[in-house]
Amino acid sequence: MGDGSSLAVLGFRPHTYWTAVVALTGRPDALRVVARRRIDFAAGRERFVYHQARALGPIEGQALIGRVRAAVEANAAREIGRLVADLRGDGAAVRVAVAPAAAARLPEALEDILRVHARMHAAEGDFYRDAVAQACAALGLRVHRIAERDLPPALAEALGVDAAGLEARLHALGAALGPPWNEDYRLAAQAAWLHL
């Protein structure tokens, strides 16, 4: 980059009200974890919004979803912005973020989602994954999306290793870093690694 900064990529693994995030720098064959955090971006009425919408009906439910989306995206952008600023202070410039994409298509109409409990859970997952992606975009980051189930095989192929080889590399990365190195951080790291 010419200014002494290194490039970092953020990888996310969102949940209903929080996300794991890992920031990686280096080359794909010589990684360094420069940050690992849990970011909370929803609380109280910002959680399980589709379940709340079901109790309100489609019109009021849609309005609630819109309000909660704005609040969650603002909360996520604030916290991700803090992480980006911390990394910048440590000499790492963040330009790219990777957030999971939906694995299945949901109906367009809210009424059709609210009719089936499993669809409500799928919609919740999409809602919070999208909120993280939108927050990153609002911060000016280039956002890549990939379905979580496609991530390990895509990364293994990009690295030219099989599943066991990828697992060994993830284990070594976690061993060098120390705990916690659970599935959330491992998947967030894989997302960043794929786009490093």
Whether the predicted pLDDT of 1 surpasses 50: no
Give the residue, 82 or 51, on which the prediction is more confident.
82
* Interval 85-124: pLDDT, tens: 999 999 999 999 999 998 778 999 999 999 999 999 999 9
pLDDT class of 2 with cuts at 50, 70, 90: very low
pLDDT bucket at 45, cuts 50 / 70 / 90: confident
Mean pLDDT of 118-140: 94
pTM: 0.91
- The residue whose two tokens read 């998947």 is 187
What the chain holds in terms of domains, given with CATH numbers, is 6-45+80-105+125-194 (3.30.420.10)
